[in-house]
Structure 1
Amino acid sequence: MQELEGIYTIWLREMKRFLRYRSRIVTSVVTPLLWLIIFGTGLGAAVRFGGVSGGYRAFIYPGIIGQTILFTSIFSGVSVIIDRQYGFLKEILVAPISRQAIVIGKALGISTASMIQAAILLLLSFIVGVTMSPVCFAVSMVIAIIISMGLGGLGLVIAAFTDSMEGFNLIMSFIVLPIFLLSGALFPITGLPAWLQGAVYINPLTYAVDALRFTILRESVLPLGLNLAVITFFAAVSVSAAAFLFSRKEQNLM
């Protein structure tokens, strides 16, 4: 019971931090919409994409949702660095809860923030001419929470290795963009060169985007069951790794 209360308290703190900065919520929604409207319309007109009903904008729509989850989840790991710099992390560590509960609470807070943004984008599906049914919305949200937990865990892993905002941002610049570009968010993953296809298939976001694309557009490369299995495994591994590394790193600082 004490562990659950600790997880809830940390989750609640992360949510209050997220909701306090309303400009962050607006930016996280406006930016993906700009990608859909400007990039989707411009490139869609240039390439005459006809792979799915609705054209290129509909095709990249699930990928842009994945992009939003990716950026929010991983960059939220910076909260650990802020808490460490201001000494709040030490106060959490002396609480009578396990390190694993701390990481789970933070990961749940990160994934909830990602889900809020994903839900907003799903409700705006009419912009790209996609009909969003209640079942489609519910399944998409399940996919969103699983991959956001995994990516949030990855962000916490990176935060465990860095002690400054500058170091965190530097690592992010080398990780986030390749993950997004190699996820199939902006182009089909079939027919790629072997070396590029290998990089695409080791990317966990690829399976999340493919699962979202199947759920929303009924178009996918891989079976939905395989996609869900991969992102669930990734989430379990990344959160477990974050808990282990976080525990060792912070124990050395105490």
Structure 2
Amino acid sequence: MAADHDIEPPIAPRVARRAMVLAAVACRSLSDHDPENADAEDLWQRLKDWIQSLDVDSEIEPHETQIIYNPLGSLSDQEKLAGAWGVEGLAILAWALGLLPFPAHDQQVDPYEVTDALALLNPEATDIINAADVRTSKELSACRELLYAIHCRLRQFNRDRSFHDISQWIESEWLQTLGIDSVLASNGDLAVGGVPLTESRESARRSCESVTFERHRAAIWLMGEYGPIYSKVPVDT
């Protein structure tokens, strides 16, 4: 359910700027190791130079500033984990910008493929921001609705651990709009790792839920439902 205020989706350049910030955070989170390593130090300096060149300071949230600029090797495990998982939300922003196809619902994305699509550490990132365009409202809505349905089913399973045929939850129009064949197993339940949810491995279910949470947040933010601050978007089911 949307918040009680006028819905104002972020404009395309803002989506691109937010994507660049998330790409920087993911890069730092995935590379925050040995501060004595010259290669790590060089990468960190390049990352700082890159993000400063993009004029995206207004988009960087305080906790993201800390992740990007705090001394190398200083990030907590929680910061590194959150930043790394954030690439799943970034994948949805990259899709919304027309830079990537819609990701498989039960698979983690390749973080390097996603950040390469945003021209991480490259000057071409400025061109992506300047030429940014977002997909249609129909596509963004289909993304939002599909991720909501998947998220609801995963949380329902956590509560009752039982089978549910959710074929009536999933509109074929959403799948067609997103270019997806199906997210369902042959018995009508959600497919995870190629099998029905009730037969999937615990690790696969946990991964799918983490993936879905981050992507759902990005989809809600793209719709403008809860204001402009990305990290403040509530991911409800």
TM-score > 0.5 by shorter chain: no
Q: Could you tell me the TM-score, scaled by structure 2's length?
A: 0.28
Q: Could you tell me the TM-score, scaled by structure 1's length?
A: 0.27
Structure having the higher helix fraction is: 1
